[in-house]
Amino acid sequence: MEQAVLTSLDPLIGALREHGYAVVGPTVRDGVIRFCELGSAADLPAGWTDEQAPGAYRLREGGEPVFGFAASPDSVKRFTHPPRSTLFRMRDGVPEAVPVEAPKVALLGVRACDLAGLAVQDRVFLGGRYPDEAYRARRAALFLIAVNCAVPGGTCFCASMNTGPRATSGFDLALTELTGPHRFLAESGSERGATLLEALPSRPATDADRQAARQVSETAEQRMGRHVELDGVKERLTERRESPVWNEIASRCLTCANCTMVCPTCFCATIEDGTDLADGSASRAERWDSCFTLEFTELGGAPVRSSGAARYRQWLTHKFSTWVDQFGTYGCVGCGRCITWCPTGIDITEELERLR
């Protein structure tokens, strides 16, 4: 693992663009930090921070850090498993090949929880007998630059899930933002990351730099906004299938699917067929779906889970119980997005504690 100190991110962005990557990172858009293409480091949200709570998200100005905010509503999932993609097209009864869109993208500002979510998605789409080749192509086209969290959000609990706040694997480069003076400790996590780092203007990392980076992660862990006790949670969820808690949650849940849309591990999709009357073509597309939608599990024209309580139970039990049976890990990485972006502020950590 190579380590060096960078004083500016412009050479990094420039080098990635020279290698043919579209550099995508956090920017301020419409009152939210979203991942968009960057032209330079000036597009990054320096001086902005966020306040996150159940059902609440606000940006405010203040401070020096470039990455002084928690998880945005965007995760890596959007780039490996896009919200909508065309599978094939037909014209005059003749099928037409639709090439997989897998542009070279460098994601700058990926958090440890998102890397953990990506590892879960890798098991889903690349494991088993029938790996998803479109996912494989998009995954291979990514260059991942992680940023170790310094400012966890009020809904974050990655420390409970052992997925953060420090990135330990799955990245090409990882940055820790340091102050006094302002600088970035960069470390490589892959051969191509090391090659790129060697070409950037930098100075060798010192023990003081490394100690400062460790302190950033330790402080972030201590300031975590939420906590989940995992001991026994898998078994308790199975035992409490008929708990009245599910109906109480359902009385507040809108089954809007916001939680699954922002979740970095949710992968459910549906298939849609469409026609274009103008040119006579037909196409089949895959788009995100959710276990919260009524039509998600129809059999014989009727939904399998007709109540909101049953659909919420399915989602939460899958994340913290049956996912372990399927993939050997939890389906939650502790990013807290489902809490922040729930319109009614349902807090998964509180519900788990009540059920546990």
- DSSP-assigned letters across all residues of 306-318: -SHHHHHHHHHHI
Same domain assignment for residues 283 and 246: yes
Do the domain assignments include residue 228?
Answer: no
Question: Using CB atoms within 10 A of its CB, is residue 324 exposed (0-12), middle (13-18) or buried (19+)?
Answer: middle
Same domain assignment for residues 179 and 248: no
- Residue 246 dihedral angles phi and psi, to the nearest 5°: -60, -40
The 8-class DSSP code of residue 320 comes to I
SS3 of residue 27 by DSSP? strand
Tens digit of each residue's pLDDT, the chain (356 residues): 789 999 999 999 999 999 999 999 999 998 899 999 999 999 999 999 999 999 999 999 877 799 999 988 999 999 999 999 999 899 888 888 889 999 999 999 999 999 999 999 999 999 889 999 999 999 999 999 999 999 999 999 999 999 999 999 999 999 999 998 999 999 999 999 999 999 999 999 999 999 999 999 999 999 998 999 999 999 999 999 999 999 999 999 999 999 999 999 999 999 999 998 888 889 999 999 999 998 887 788 788 888 999 999 999 999 999 999 888 899 999 999 999 999 999 999 999 999 87
Same domain assignment for residues 134 and 279: no
Same domain assignment for residues 25 and 141: yes
What residue numbers bound the domain in which 261 lies? 233-355
Do the domain assignments include residue 343?
Answer: yes
Closest C-alpha to 45, from 54, 37, 34, 53: 34
Of 222, 255, 274, the position where a domain reaches its end is: 222
Same domain assignment for residues 76 and 46: yes
Do the domain assignments include residue 283?
Answer: yes
Same domain assignment for residues 210 and 237: no
Same domain assignment for residues 312 and 210: no
Same domain assignment for residues 201 and 323: no
Same domain assignment for residues 213 and 327: no
Of 202, 222, 242, the position where a domain reaches its end is: 222
Do the domain assignments include residue 324?
Answer: yes
Dist CA 115 CA 121 (whole Å): 10
pTM of the model: 0.92
Same domain assignment for residues 191 and 244: no
